[in-house]
Amino acid sequence: MLTGCGSDPDTATPSTPQQIPLTTPPTELRWVEFNGMRIPQAAEGPTEVTDAVAPEGFDRTPPGAGLAAVNAIVRLSVALDDQWPQVVRELIAPGQARDDFITNRIQLSTTSGVPAGQAPQVQGWKLTAFTPDKASADIYTRLPDGSMTVNHTTVVWAPAFGDWRLLLPDAAAGASPVDAITATPTDMVALTGA
């Protein structure tokens, strides 16, 4: 009788993300509108799209992390007064930066979406770091006047939810989360159809 335990180290299990290149684009790309902005969705997420305000369910892969970062930062940026608490609760990682955002956001009022023709267009992203637990994504956007920006974001894997959460930057660190640029990098994951 043979007994023993072991595993094939070359076989990925559902809890072990597969190694894929950081420049892998999402598959089955489509766009949805949220408060005047077009946001990418794909086979890698979100999978739970019945909630139009804060859809969840992004793969624990480079394309899943990139999509999660774009979805969270855009939704947080344009959420209306009755939407932002849900976006924060479901898409943003807990911590002091999130608490500071809440304190500041309560003092503002946004009751309408981005006017037609004024919405920035997400061009793509570049993952500057990726592990199964944390990813840094630079998100490239073209503004209505033709200028471009890069938004430096980080998402962290939240095991309790089985999904990525946007980690807001620490304001005390002093680094700007958004910079003006003149061109997008040639190795970014380009999103078509914006």
Put residue 124 in one of left, alpha, beta given phi > 0 → left and psi -120 to 50 → alpha.
left
Per the CB < 8 A criterion, the answer to whether 64 and 18 are in contact is no
The confidence score (pLDDT) of residue 4 equals 43
The confidence score (pLDDT) of residue 47 equals 94
Rounded to two decimals, the pTM is: 0.88
| Higher-pLDDT residue of 17, 107 | 107
SS3 at position 187: coil
Q: CB under 8 Å to 102, separation ≥6 — which residues?
A: 88
Distances (CA, A) of 30 to 26, 33, 78, 94: 10, 10, 20, 29
Q: What is the pLDDT of residues 25-57, one digit of tens each?
A: 999 999 999 999 999 999 999 999 888 999 999
Q: Which two tokens stand for residue 34?
A: 């949220």
Q: Which two tokens stand for residue 64?
A: 């899943």
Q: What is the pLDDT of residues 71-109, one digit of tens each?
A: 999 999 999 999 999 999 999 999 999 999 999 999 989
